[in-house]
Amino acid sequence: HHGIGQVLQELGVDAINAAYSTGLQWGGTSNERILSISSPTDGKLIGKVRVATAADYEQVVTTAQEAFKTWRLVPAPKRGEIVRQIGNKLREYKEPLGKLVSYEMGKILQEGLGEVQEMIDICDFAVGLSRQLHGYTMHSERPAHRMYEQYHPLGVVGIISAFNFPVAVWSWNAMLAAVCGDVSIWKPSEKTPLVAVAVQHIIKDVLRENELPEGIFSVIVGDAEIGSLLSADERVPLVSATGSTRMGKKVGAVVGARLGKALLELGGNNAIIITPHADLDMAIRAVLFGAVGTAGQRCTTTRRLIVHADVYDDVKQRLLSAYPKLPIGHPLQEGNLVGPLIDTDAVQSFTKALAAVQAEGGTLLTGGEVLSGPGYETGTYVQPALVEAKNEYHTVQEETFAPILYLIKYEGTVENAIELQNGVRQGLSSSIFSLNMRETEAFLAHTGSDCGIANVNIGTSGAEIGGAFGGEKETGGGRESGSDAWRVYMRRQTNTINYSTQLPLAQGIKFDI
Ligand code: NAD
């Protein structure tokens, strides 16, 4: 079916009976808890994987710690060379890996392949970065003194990832960590462990060919329990966690209690503002991709549309005519643009949110059905919903990880729209469509959007890896991927060197006895 059997074989994930993998080897486990992974696309069983135990976890951490001792001695540009080889391996396996991402997670094939391309791109980025891990040099206040700072590797980095970007998020973290001299332990989502197994199989050859130790990259399969072990572990100086705000509050508290570093990439409640000065053709295309792309399961999915009263009816009509035409179906079938939700629990959250928002006074304009019949037997396919609502509704304030777009009307100036856009607890992505420079600059000013990402005439989703990615408020404050996001994967050290014959104290203090 869709050649998945062959894909699994090509990726080396046809026979899975081990709980975890360190860098090169699948480890065994006595655990009888098994995750059976079925595709949300057709309900068929893809594979089974055992859940790691606490003892397995111990072994992975000690293997990683050992590997760190070797890896940190490899010069950074040479570490970059290993990442370059990983990027090339991913190029070789782009087709089957992209297909498996699509089949296990449910995103359309183009997006599955796009996700692997993002992994390749971040490898390239990290290779360049491996020669640019720089600090500043400052002038000392004391004569014949030099002061500068260096960035040193941190150690073991824990990576907890979400189901919706099941492989890209790992690469954003692991490839940067690798050039920084860190080793990483990946705990993938328990909803999508097979792609993680596949990635491990792909990169293990690179480690082997370069005679590098086991444990530079490790995968450990498990759910929140294994995630909590990572969060609580003092041997893991940095935990990078991507997922819901609910999860982030727990992980952040546990890591914080031991004063470790947490990099949190949590939920969004992203809005597009459409002003009377918008290019509406562009805006509608951005809204459609942002709201229904990946079936509304992106952290940057457009969830709220804040539209000026003057263009509101026009925007509403255009969306009303587009929504019923969306091609919904098997994501590996060409032409389909909307795949399934990850599971029937997600479908329940979708229908519950729609009922709740209507009880609060919202109007369901179109969509909202759970699809049934041929091709939709899994009960995971839904018709994306368009709802007229108010920003202050409880339902609108929450992130429902499904394709629901709330249409919100504003009047008067762009400041009113910005106030609505900022009037939620999350702060990931935001966007304005306007050709009026006063409006767009107001949106980008410090009094404008309060999000980590603010776009003009581009939608909320589809960030480039070159920029720092992340958000404010309940989105967690973390930044990953481009710009100087690498700094969080290293520890900063300030060094002062005295090459004089005196020992002058700072602030001119005299301390002679
Ligand atoms: P989730 O929170 O259910 O799970 C994410 C990961 O956290 C999983 O690996 C899970 O096992 C682990 N986990 C759960 N509870 C834990 C705990 N107490 N301790 C340690 N680990 C724990 O999220 P999901 O349903 O997989 O993904 C969807 C969510 O992720 C959405 O809220 C979405 O916005 C968010 N997300 C954010 C970003 C971002 O970069 N900001 C990117 C992708 C997804």
Q: Phi/psi at 454 (nearest 5 deg)?
A: -135, 120
3-state DSSP helix/strand/coil percent for the chain, to nearest 5?
Answer: 40, 20, 40
In the chain, DSSP finds a helix count (H) and a strand count (E) of: 15, 23
Q: What is the pLDDT of residue 457?
A: 98
Nearest by Cα to 241 from 476, 425, 463 = 476
Q: What pLDDT digit, counting tens, does each position of 200-247 carry?
A: 999 999 999 999 998 999 999 999 999 999 999 999 999 999 999 999
Q: What pLDDT digit, counting tens, does each position of 477-505 carry?
A: 999 999 999 999 999 999 999 999 999 88
> What count of Cα atoms within 13 Å lies in the side-chain half-sphere of residue 365?
20
Q: What is the pLDDT of residue 338?
A: 98
Contact residues for 503 (Cβ-Cβ < 8 A; gap 6+)? none
Confidence check: pLDDT of 1 > 70: no
DSSP single-letter state for residue 328: B
Contact residues for 27 (Cβ-Cβ < 8 A; gap 6+)? 18, 19, 20, 21, 56, 59, 60
Q: What is the pLDDT of residue 431?
A: 98
Q: Distance between CA 302 and CA 344 in Å, rounded?
A: 22
CA angle centred on 179, ends 478 and 494, rounded to 5°: 70
> What is the rounded average pLDDT for all residues in the chain?
96
Choice between 35 and 368, residue whose per-residue pLDDT is larger: 368
DSSP single-letter state for residue 484: T
DSSP letter for each residue of 384-428: -EEEE--TTSHHHHS--SSSEEEEEEE-SSHHHHHHHHH-SSEES
Q: Phi/psi at 427 (nearest 5 deg)?
A: -150, 50
Confidence check: pLDDT of 349 > 60: yes
Q: Which of 159, 164, 474 maximizes ligand 1 atoms within 8 Å of its Cβ, making it the mutation to test the pocket?
A: 164
Q: What is the pLDDT of residue 17?
A: 56
User: In 10 A of CB 470, how many CB atoms?
Assistant: 26
Nearest by Cα to 33 from 12, 13, 54 = 54
Q: Distance between CA 167 and CA 20 in Å, rounded?
A: 16
User: In 10 A of CB 507, how many CB atoms?
Assistant: 5
Q: What pLDDT digit, counting tens, does each position of 395-408 carry?
A: 999 999 999 999 99
Q: What is the pLDDT of residue 23?
A: 76
Structure tokens at 381: 């396919």
Share of the chain above pLDDT 70, in %: 98
Please say if 265 is a catalytic residue: yes
Distances (CA, A) of 17 to 51, 197, 441, 456: 10, 11, 56, 49
Rg (CA), the chain: 24
Q: What is the pLDDT of residue 8?
A: 86
Q: Distance between CA 127 and CA 78 in Å, rounded?
A: 9
Structure tokens at 353: 């949110």
For ligand 1, atom 22, the nearest C-alpha belongs to 224
Q: Looking at the CA of residue 342, tell me the nearest atom of ligand 1.
A: 25
- Please tell me whether the overall predicted TM-score, pTM, comes out greater than 0.80 for this model: yes
Q: Which of 159, 171, 191, 242 maximizes ligand 1 atoms within 8 Å of its Cβ, making it the mutation to test the pocket?
A: 242
For ligand 1, atom 12, the nearest C-alpha belongs to 224
Q: Which residues pair with 451 in a beta bridge?
A: none
Q: What pLDDT digit, counting tens, does each position of 63-114 carry?
A: 999 999 999 999 999 999 999 999 999 999 999 999 999 999 999 999 999 9
The secondary element (H helix, E strand) that includes residue 190 is none
User: In 10 A of CB 16, how many CB atoms?
Assistant: 21
Q: Residue by residue, what is the 3-state secondary structure of 256-319?
A: HHCCCEEEEECCCCEEEEECCCCCHHHHHHHHHHHHHHHHHCCCCCEEEEEEEHHHHHHHHHHH
The secondary element (H helix, E strand) that includes residue 112 is helix 109-129
Distance 389 CA to ligand 1 centre (A): 27
Confidence check: pLDDT of 15 > 60: no
Distance 264 CA to ligand 1 centre (A): 10
**Set 111, 118, 214, 265: catalytic member:** 265
Instruction: Look at residue 170 and give its three-state secondary structure.
Output: helix
